[in-house]
Amino acid sequence: MLKNFLPNQHVKSIYEISVDDLKDKGVKGVITDLDNTLVEWDRPNATPKLIEWFKHLKEQGMAVTIVSNNNETRVKAFAEPLGIPYIYKARKPMGKAFNKALSTMNLKKDETVVIGDQLLTDVLGGNRNGYHTILVVPVGKTDDKITKFNRSVERRILNWFKRKGLLQWEDEQ
């Protein structure tokens, strides 16, 4: 059961994800979480560095879809100015939104990665639905109420993975 929470990769930030490595693995698309994965949960817009990251993905032929459990107002206001497709109220870790994103990008699961900052939503959802998952350290130091609870559960799981030697993770979470 706990293996569903183990990401295929883990990085400090999305900027450490090599597009060339993804392409070498046959990846053509990215399903990414929004809050505390791309920007802090309370930051309304993309940073200049993030805009450049999205531009680089696009230049390399990568499709991107933002899949967030947040509401339409939040996700639309962030994604529309960037011209990035999005799914709000995704109900992660349920699979419907992941599959919708896949369909939107017209890709197969083995051509797509799921990137997120939470084990209980992003990693679990991606793993249970057959995607390659990449866990990032949350960019924000604070969370909303629901996420705070999730983080306490995640810390226990991450510590278990560390003790078993399954995950080398700096104490940034």
Closest C-alpha to 45, from 75, 87, 90: 75
pLDDT-based confidence at 126, cuts 50/70/90?
very high
Mean pLDDT of 102-125: 96
Mean pLDDT of 93-115: 96
What is the count of structural domains for the chain? Answer: 1
Mean pLDDT of 131-135: 96
Q: What is the CATH number of the domain that holds 6?
A: 3.40.50.1000
Instruction: Please compute, for residue 125, the number of CA atoms within 13 A of its CA located in the half-sphere on the CB side.
Output: 27
Average predicted confidence (pLDDT) for the chain: 91
pTM: 0.91
Residue 13 domain flag: yes
Residue 169 domain flag: no
pLDDT at 153 over 60: yes
pLDDT-based confidence at 173, cuts 50/70/90?
very low
pLDDT digits (tens, 9 = 90+) for 14-40: 999 999 999 999 999 999 999 999 999
pLDDT at 54 over 70: yes
Residue 82 domain flag: yes
Closest C-alpha to 67, from 46, 39, 92: 92
Comparing 145 with 171, the larger pLDDT belongs to: 145
Q: What is the pLDDT of residue 19?
A: 93
Identify the domain containing residue 62 by its residue range.
2-163
What's at 5, amino acid-wise?
F
pLDDT-based confidence at 152, cuts 50/70/90?
confident
Residue 172 domain flag: no
Closest C-alpha to 151, from 128, 167, 135, 168: 135
